[in-house]
Amino acid sequence: MSADVLGRWVPARPEDVATVFTEADFPWWIAGGYAIELAVGHELRPHGDLDLLVLRRDQVRARGLLASWDLYVADPPGQGRLRTWLPGEVLPQPLHDIWCRRTPEAPWSIQLMLDEAEGTQWVSRRDPAIRLPIDQLGRTSKTGIPYLAPEVQLFYKAKATRNKDEADFEAVLPLLDAPARAWLADAINVIVPDHPWLRRLLPVSRT
């Protein structure tokens, strides 16, 4: 989506999101490039947006915490069009991308992403064969901010890898233990079986 057409972005900081979601009674995680930075413990690069992940089944509660915000859903996904996310509206699949700003005059600051779950399992919206226990989906920073596990974030980045994704991979790869590398390699192999990252991951993969 073009920021020139849909409005400018001034991304929130993870600590800003933590303040908004301090009363959340459901799991949430900082995602995207900020998740990688929280994993490595320092800033890596400027960011054009801030991704926040919640499970689809918790969307009503997440919307409640953002009730005073101006919220738009990408509908249809990936086509460069936004429409208002109406109060009380439950978004079905495949809708998963919500743009959030504090007022209609403010810049966009949070990109809320909805992901799937079955029971205690997170289920990838890209392929339902790719799963992980929800209690393994995230980590917590030293300052108490939940963020998406780096192996899961790298899985998202593997589908259409950009220069910044390569930089994120290099930064966080030394922090991944053998099970995390194996899970990531297996997950990437499902969606991009010829991905060059596999050469770095396969020595400890189950594949």
Question: Looking at residue 6, what is its pLDDT?
Answer: 83
- For 4-43, write each residue's pLDDT tens digit: 468 999 999 999 999 999 999 999 999 999 999 999 999 9
**Position 100, amino acid:** C
**103-157 per-position pLDDT tens digit:** 999 999 999 999 999 999 999 999 999 999 999 999 999 999 999 999 999 999 9
- Asked if residue 153 lies in contact with residue 32, where contact means CB atoms within 8 angstroms, the answer is yes
Give the residue among 100, 113, 119, 118 at the shortest CA–CA distance from 152: 113
Question: What's the whole-model pTM score?
Answer: 0.92
CATH 3.30.70 assigned to domain 3-149? The reply is no
Task: Give counts: helices (H), strands (E), the chain.
Answer: 8, 10
The CA distance from 142 to 112, in Å, is 23
- Give domain limits for the chain: 3-149
Condensed to tens digits (0 to 9), the pLDDT of residues 162-186 reads: 999 999 999 999 999 999 999 999 9
- Residue 29 tokens read as 């995680």
Which 3 state secondary structure label does DSSP give 88? coil
Distance separating the N- and C-terminal Cα atoms of the chain: 36
